[in-house]
């Protein structure tokens, strides 16, 4: 009896811990990418993880690292940028998970702050020996395109 | 003794699960409403739940569904909109809960993104057989009105 | 054996509760400061806690309270302001914790909403008898300054 109760608790707590770990992983993206910490950003992805953001297709941790170090991203960081993520909705299924959130990019320019993009994000994650990692992330601007909207419907109740 | 420890754990874990379930429920609103998934948005509310947003009073799940399908909302979705929610502060009391968060609405227009509203939100929730559902939501623009500010004070420590 | 499992569960659950308590504490800041609830904002800090925000150095709960009641802040609240916080990444070590998040300040002016600042925030927290409290908070505008970026790197995986 007590053993069953213990096992049930362990299972439920593990689910909570998974959800929080993934929330934390994704929540780290904004601060790390805005600090231009290329290694730490890359480490959020699996070794062969990918990131597809409107015409920029990264296919490995090394590609993600190169994006952070790119002149485009460094230009944003030097100006002052905020990759602001909204609440993450996580669905865990065993060692895989899907997470969805919206995001807003704010960029500083000539002493003012501008919202330059608003986006839909879908993350597919996997539990590896080192913990949860991003296997694939897709980001699309919320500019009325059906493709962006389709990413958001991975929020299942 | 062990039985007491088990019971205490079960109670504490249930509280954590409630808080996360409500956080997830409310966090789903933005992605679902921006994807114009009318049924899924409506399902966040109780059958007789209500949503009062500045002059628009919805009094049932069907009303919420009709709002998502309305020309006003469809116009926003076609242009590209982001109902961006901030961190949700949840207070659970048995089978009822109150949650508060701020929100920002970003709308895409002529290749640019505009913050068109910033709001205060108070949710009253109830635990139904199907899980937590929104019984009443009130949203007011944070434009200096005392009414908007009053919604925010439901954040108790 | 069961005792070990119980103890392990208690320890893991306590970690989860700490993370959620700190997330909730920091998430309360926006709603409370935008509602101008000076006492409740001050109570988020430890008695001798400090808040350093670009040239404004508060060194106690009383100083934080005075900031909320200041003409500068009351002017923002009367106009309509939203201190919008992003996802908080929390690292707990015993009775101390560090948390990082980004933030956006939206201000209402002449029937429009403006993003007037985007910031990096680092919180150092302490567990006091009354629960978790902010010992020190540092906020810097994300305007390209290395100092703001340095605050964000306290996000450790």
pLDDT tens-digit map of C12-47: 999 999 999 999 999 999 999 999 999 999 999 999
Q: How far apart are CA A145 and CA B35, in angstroms?
A: 10
The ipTM (two decimal places) reads 0.95
B62 token code pair: 């069907």
Confidence (pLDDT) at B18: 98
Supply the pLDDT for residue B104: 98
Select from A13, A36, A78 the Cβ nearest to the Cβ of C12.
A13
Chain A adjacent subunits, 3+ CB pairs under 8 A: B, C
User: Which residues in chain B have Cβ-Cβ distances shorter than 8 Å to C115?
Assistant: 115
Number of neighbours of residue B131 by Cβ within 10 angstroms: 11
Element (H, E) at B109: strand B96-109
Q: Token pair 């909204």 is at which residue?
A: A86
Task: Give the pLDDT score at C155.
Answer: 82
Give the span between the Cα atoms of C42 and C131, in whole angstroms: 14
Whether residues C34 and B142 touch (CB distance < 8 A) is answered with: yes
Q: Do B109 and B82 form a contact (C-beta atoms < 8 A)?
A: no
> Regarding predicted confidence, which is higher, B139 or B1?
B139
- Average pLDDT (C74-80) is 98
Q: Which of chain A's residues have a Cβ under 8 Å away from the Cβ of B24?
A: 89-90
Chain C residues with CB-CB distance to A27 below 8 A: 86-89, 101
Write down the mean pLDDT value for chain C.
96
- Min Cα distance A20 → chain B (Å) is 9
Label residue C60 left, alpha or beta by phi (over 0 means left) and psi (-120 to 50 means alpha): beta
Q: In this complex, which of A16, A27, A115 lies closest to C87 when CB atoms are compared?
A: A27
Contacts of C9 in chain A (CB under 8 A): 6, 9-10, 13
Residue B27 token pair: 């966090």
- Whether residue C24 and residue B100 make contact (CB cut-off 8 A), yes or no, is no
Question: Rounded to an integer, what is the distance from CA C46 to the centroid of its chain?
Answer: 12
Q: What are phi and psi of C45, to 5 degrees?
A: -95, 155
Classified as helix, coil or strand, B33 is: helix
Tell me which residue in B19, B100, B141 faces C31 most closely, judged by beta carbons.
B100
pLDDT of C2 over the 90 cut: no
pLDDT at C1: 60
Mean of per-residue pLDDT scores for chain B:
96
Q: Which among B89, B144, B155 has the least Cβ separation from residue C108? A: B144
Token code pair at residue C87: 């996802």
Report whether pLDDT(B103) > 80.
yes
CB contact under 8 A, A24 and C143: no
Within 8 A of B12 by CB-CB distance, chain C residues are 13, 17
- Tell me what pLDDT residue B77 has: 98
pLDDT band at B53; cut points 50, 70, 90:
very high
Instruction: Give mean pLDDT in consecutive 10-residue pieces for chain A, a chain of 157 residues.
Output: 90 98 98 97 97 94 98 97 97 97 97 97 97 98 96 81
pLDDT for C156: 66
Pull the structure tokens for residue B64. Answer: 């919420």
Instruction: Report which DSSP code applies to B7.
Output: H
Length of chain C (residues): 157
Q: Give the pLDDT score at A1.
A: 60
Q: What is the pLDDT of residues C114-151, one digit of tens each?
A: 999 999 999 999 999 999 999 999 999 999 999 999 99
Joined together, the tokens standing for residue B14 give 């249930």
**Window from A53-57, B39-43, C102-106 with minimum mean pLDDT:** A53-57
Measured between alpha carbons, how far is C12 from C29 in angstroms, rounded to an integer? Answer: 27
Cα A121 to chain centroid distance, Å, stands at 7
The pLDDT score that the predictor gives to residue A55 is 82
Sole residue written with tokens 């902010």: C134
The arithmetic mean of pLDDT across residues B25-49, rounded, is: 97
């Amino acid at each position: 009896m007590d053993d069953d109760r213990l096992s049930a608790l362990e299972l439920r707590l593990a689910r909570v811990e998974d959800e929080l770990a993934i929330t934390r992983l994704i929540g780290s993206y904004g601060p790390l990418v805005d600090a231009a910490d290329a290694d730490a950003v890359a480490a959020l992805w699996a070794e062969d993880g990918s990131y597809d953001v409107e015409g920029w297709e990264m296919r490995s941790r090394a590609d993600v690292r190169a994006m952070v170090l790119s002149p485009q991203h460094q230009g944003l960081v030097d100006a002052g940028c905020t990759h602001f993520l909204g609440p993450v909705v996580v669905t865990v299924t065993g060692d895989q998970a899907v997470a969805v959130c919206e995001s807003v990019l704010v960029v500083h320019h000539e002493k003012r702050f501008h919202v330059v993009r608003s986006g839909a994000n879908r993350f597919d994650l996997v539990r590896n020996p080192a913990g949860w990692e991003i296997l694939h992330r897709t980001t699309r601007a919320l500019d009325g395109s059906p493709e962006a909207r389709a990413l958001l419907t991975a929020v299942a109740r």
